[in-house]
Amino acid sequence: MKTTLLGTEPPVKSVTRVALVEDQKELCRQWAGIIDTFTDIECVGTCASGEEAAERIPQWAPDVILMDIRLPGMSGIECTSRLKELLPATPIVILTVLDDDELIFRALEAGADGYLLKRSKPVDLRAALLDVLNGGAPMSSAIARRVVCSFKKTSPRLAHVQLSAREAEVLKFLSRGFSNKEIASQIELSVETVRTYLKSIYKKLHVRSRTEAVLHYGSSRPGSPP
């Protein structure tokens, strides 16, 4: 912290850095403009294709990525998968006009951490960005219902998956929407230890996101459809 003749300068407020992937120029401009109206969030760059995003976004190291699905060439789903390999800790929120069940589920399987429709209000977009940074899985209610129904119809039961007692406890709190920090507080562990348990859970369930883990948890509980 720098000290001046007038005293100690206040700490600089942290700003959430967002990268946007959108091929339609006008929509890209509009959403980037909306993001920049938030005092604590800024758009650090935009990409018009999945190929461009896979190359440039890792260099920007954003806090959150907003991803369209319908892109020229590489789809937003494939781009999400590639970026998850390059930036596994960076949450990706799908932002699209589509509410197709198959595309929703494929995006989540690719590692997306949330799914919002482009008709979402700016206040909902801001809330989603902050939510995903705190370990949440933002999703409009209509999308959430369709995802859960789709998953229950297609996902096998996971009774054979062997989680430790602590892993099961972490997953239980995760399914209730708790952030990593809140889980750590509930079971008196460090946030880093919670992250370690989550990595183990993801590996055992063969998933790559909090959303997938929660959906698998729901489908494997007693009374869930096979």
Quickly state the pLDDT bin for 134 (edges 50, 70, 90). Answer: confident
pLDDT at 99: 61
- What integer best gives the mean pLDDT of the chain? 81
Alpha-carbon span 64 to 130, nearest angstrom:
9
- Model confidence band, residue 171 (pLDDT cutoffs 50, 70, 90): confident
pLDDT in the model for residue 82: 93
The residue with greater pLDDT, 17 or 1, is 17
Indicate the pLDDT class of residue 153, thresholds 50, 70 and 90.
Answer: low
Task: Give the lowest-confidence range in 18-32, 37-51, 68-82, 194-208.
Answer: 194-208
Q: Hey, what domains does the chain have and what are their CATH numbers?
A: 16-151 (3.40.50.2300), 157-220 (1.10.10.10)
Whether the predicted pLDDT of 151 surpasses 50:
yes
Average pLDDT score over residue span 70-82: 92
User: For the residues 126-133, what does the mean pLDDT come to?
Assistant: 90
